[in-house]
Structure 1
Amino acid sequence: PYRPQTNGKIERFHRTMADGWAFTKHYNSESARRAALPAWLHHYNHHRPHTAIGKVPPISRLNNLPGHYT
């Protein structure tokens, strides 16, 4: 925490959330916006390719998922 690298990463994630989930479409209420968050997070972590890690989703980097122990 409090390092420029860390702060930049979280600020970029906040921007990605704003652009991809929070303000992309009109929600009728804040509860509707919150209800849409789990689906967006699933897409972000499981399906959206990230250029910084070789155009694969972040979930592909985990090796300690339940049922995937070696």
Structure 2
Amino acid sequence: MANPVVSDPTRPQEGIQWSWCLHARCRVVDPHLFFASDGEHKGPRIRREREAKRICGHCPVITECRS
């Protein structure tokens, strides 16, 4: 039985085009804005998610990102 291929998330996968990332609005934003921290309370979570949605909502490459 062959070993499954495990992709390295730090390296682009062969055949996948990543150039759209250069145009993403989030590329200059702290990544923690898009991910909840342990023990995050409701108020800060709502504010963080609202800001993340605002950034994504005006992003020119949102379609590519979602796929």
Compute the TM-score of the two structures, normalised by the length of structure 2: 0.31
Which one has a larger percent helix, Structure 1 or Structure 2?
1
Name the larger-Rg structure. 2
TM-score w.r.t. structure 1 length?
Answer: 0.30
Greater relative contact order (Cα < 8 A, sep 6+): 2
